Amino acid sequence: MARHIVLLRGINVGRHNRIAMTEFKALLTGLGYTGVRTLLNSGNAVVTTPDPDPAAAARRIQRGISDAFGLSIAVMVRSRALVESVIERNPMPGEAERAPNFFHVGFCDPAPSQERLDSIDATKLGADRIMVRDGTCYLWFADGPQNSPLGKAIRVHKLGANMTMRSWNTVRKLVSLAGPVGGAPDPG
C-alpha cells in the first residue's frame, strides 16, 4: 500500500472552485482510497492506495472532481516519501525555520524549464528568492507572499507549469499526517 499526498490547485480561494473538505474526503473514499485525512480548507489530503503511481492517482482524482463537482482542477499527487525528501532537500533551511509562513514549496507539473526560470529578473526580486531542485520550487517571500516581487514575477513570466504552493508549515504537517514511510498514518 502506498501513502500519497494530494494537492489541489486553486480551490476555495475567493468565490470560485469551492469544494467542502467533507465532500472532498467523501469523494476520495468513494474512489477507493483509504485512510483519507484532509488538512485545512485548501485542497490538501493524504490517502492510502494500492496504486503506487502518483500520476495515475492524480488523473483519477481529477476525473472524480470533474464528474462530482463539475470543476476542472489541477491535481498533484506525490508520494509521502517524495514530500519528505522535499523537506530534506530544502536549499534554504534558515529561511524556512525563521519564518515558515513566508517560505513556500511549489509543487510543479511538469517542472519549469531553466529558460523560464532564467527569464525572471533576480535584480527585481528584492530579498525574495526562488530555487528549484528536482522539479520542486522553493520560494522565499521575504516580506510575506502577499504582493511580493517574486509572486508578481511568477505571474508575469509564467513558469510554463502547473504549480500549487504550500507554506513550509503545511508541507511538514502533511508529511506528519501521512505517518511514517511504510507505517500507519498519524491518528491525529
What is the chain's pLDDT, residue by residue, as a tens digit (188 residues)? 899 999 998 887 667 788 999 999 999 999 999 999 999 888 899 999 988 899 999 999 999 999 999 999 999 999 999 999 999 999 999 999 999 999 999 999 888 888 888 888 888 999 999 999 988 999 999 999 888 999 888 876 678 788 899 999 999 999 999 987 555 544 44
For 133, residues 6+ apart whose C-beta sits below 8 A from its C-beta are 89, 91
For residue 13, what pLDDT is reported? 66
Instruction: Measure the CA–CA gap between 172 and 169, rounded to whole angstroms.
Output: 5
How is the beta sheet containing 34-39 ordered, strand by strand?
Answer: 34-39, 44-49, 2-8, 75-79
Supply the DSSP string of 132-163, one letter for each residue: EETTEEEEE-TT-STT-HHHHHHHHH--SSEE
For residue 156, what pLDDT is reported? 65
For residue 46, what pLDDT is reported? 97
For residue 99, what pLDDT is reported? 95
Whether the bond between 185 and the residue before it is cis, its omega within 30 degrees of 0, is no
Cβ proximity of 178 and 3 under 8 Å: yes
